[in-house]
């Protein structure tokens, strides 16, 4: 949905649905944000002042980065979950999503590990419930993002291509696109396929490792950082430790702050949410930089 089409009523409806799921009647506690502030704002511009606004890196062709507005509402078990309004892949189009914000690493040997995994599952299930209700009430979600990307893939880039055409040397290269949000993964896969790549998808760390055990290997992996089963850091550690996969370029995609040791295992870093021109540019550059004797393209 275009930002100009979003209204305070859309935002209030989305927040009300979020709160009904995250803070059902009878539970102890309340949302972290002051919801009365949203109710007192008569325009979207005024309402945006309640959110924390950030912007990702723009494209090399001058395209600006994606804007993101986040409001921490928490839930009855975890105070850091957020309601997010953001651009993603398609410039000028905004979507509602839930950021579970629970990608803290807990050592598997820690006594807190199993309770933490249980909390992450609870947050993921709650996210799905909220976003499904948003979709049922025709609020803009990542399901709409997927549909837009699939539409772009059908008709091709028009009105100012998101990047230069793919070179013949890269056409047909194999990509594995990984994201625990299936709509984001499928949306990115659609536009990358239309661009000329062969694209597979995966949605958690275990699926990535299972796929990377098979031939032919992908020429590049676009790897989500925050995933169930094994997170991006653990996946990278395992792939880099295996001589068969150690040289496969890994483009890490994250909205989180990550430490230097994690970044050093990655071949490149994408800050979520990103415009598709940045995705294209990073993939093209990393594939062009693959040294002779790197992963066999099959």
Residues 57 and 102 in one domain: yes
Please state the rounded mean pLDDT for residues 272-285: 93
Query: Pairing between strand 67-72 and 82-88?
Result: antiparallel
Higher pLDDT, 83 or 91: 83
Residues 46 and 172 in one domain: no
Look up the CATH number of the domain holding residue 277.
3.40.50.2300
Residues 129 and 196 in one domain: no
227 in a structural domain: yes
Higher pLDDT, 105 or 152: 152
Average pLDDT, the chain: 88
- Residue range 139-194, pLDDT digits in tens: 999 999 999 999 999 987 644 445 667 888 899 999 999 999 999 999 999 999 99
Question: Above 80 in pLDDT, residue 290?
Answer: no
> What is the tally of structural domains in the chain?
2
61 in a structural domain: yes
Which pairs with CB-CB distance under 8 Å and at least 24 residues apart come from 67-73? 67/94, 68/255, 68/273, 70/99, 71/15, 71/33, 72/32, 72/33, 72/101, 73/15, 73/18, 73/19, 73/22, 73/31, 73/32, 73/33
195 in a structural domain: yes
Predicted model pTM: 0.88
Question: Above 50 in pLDDT, residue 292?
Answer: no
Last residue of a domain, one of 81, 108, 140: 140
119 in a structural domain: yes
Last residue of a domain, one of 95, 111, 140: 140
pLDDT of residue 63: 65
Residues 200 and 115 in one domain: no
Residues 120 and 17 in one domain: yes
Q: Which domain range does residue 117 map to?
A: 3-140
Distance in angstroms (rounded) separating the CA atoms of residues 7 and 136: 18
Structure tokens at 48: 């945006």
Residues 208 and 282 in one domain: yes
Question: Above 70 in pLDDT, residue 260?
Answer: no
pLDDT of residue 56: 83
Residues 222 and 126 in one domain: no
150 in a structural domain: no
pLDDT of residue 291: 54
Higher pLDDT, 174 or 234: 174
Confidence band of 60 (pLDDT split at 50, 70, 90): low
Angstrom distances, CA of residue 67 to CA of 52, 89, 113, 279:
11, 11, 34, 16
Last residue of a domain, one of 83, 106, 140: 140
Residues 125 and 244 in one domain: no
149 in a structural domain: no
Residues 174 and 132 in one domain: no
Residues 216 and 101 in one domain: no
Distance in angstroms (rounded) separating the CA atoms of residues 210 and 117: 21
Residues 215 and 174 in one domain: yes
Residues 184 and 239 in one domain: yes
175 in a structural domain: yes
67 in a structural domain: yes
Confidence band of 256 (pLDDT split at 50, 70, 90): confident
């Amino acid at each position: 949905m275009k930002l100009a089409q979003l209204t305070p009523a859309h935002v209030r409806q989305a927040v009300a649905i979020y709160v009904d799921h995250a803070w059902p009647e009878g539970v102890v506690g309340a949302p972290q944000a002051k919801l009365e502030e949203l109710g007192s704002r008569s325009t979207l511009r005024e309402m945006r002042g309640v959110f924390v606004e950030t912007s990702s890196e723009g494209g090399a062709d001058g395209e600006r980065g994606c804007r993101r507005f986040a409001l921490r509402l928490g839930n009855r078990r975890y105070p850091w979950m957020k309601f997010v309004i953001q651009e993603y892949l398609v410039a000028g189009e905004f979507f509602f999503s839930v950021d579970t914000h629970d990608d803290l690493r807990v050592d598997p040997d820690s006594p807190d590990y199993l309770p933490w995994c249980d909390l992450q599952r609870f947050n993921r299930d709650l996210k799905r419930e909220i976003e499904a209700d948003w979709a049922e009430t025709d609020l803009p979600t990542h399901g709409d993002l997927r549909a837009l990307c699939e539409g772009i893939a059908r008709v091709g880039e028009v009105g100012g291509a998101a990047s230069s055409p793919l070179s013949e040397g890269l056409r047909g290269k194999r990509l594995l696109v990984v994201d625990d949000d299936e709509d984001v993964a499928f949306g990115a896969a659609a536009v990358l396929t239309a661009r000329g790549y062969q694209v597979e998808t995966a949605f958690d760390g275990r699926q990535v490792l299972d796929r990377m055990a098979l031939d032919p290997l992908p020429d590049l992996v676009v790897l989500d950082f925050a995933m169930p089963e094994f997170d991006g850091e653990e996946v990278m550690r395992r792939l880099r430790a295996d001589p068969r996969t150690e040289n496969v370029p890994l483009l890490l995609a994250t909205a989180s702050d990550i430490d230097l040791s994690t970044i050093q295992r990655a071949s490149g870093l994408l800050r979520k949410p990103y415009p598709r021109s940045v995705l294209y540019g990073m993939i093209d550059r990393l594939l062009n930089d693959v040294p002779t004797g790197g992963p066999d393209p099959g």
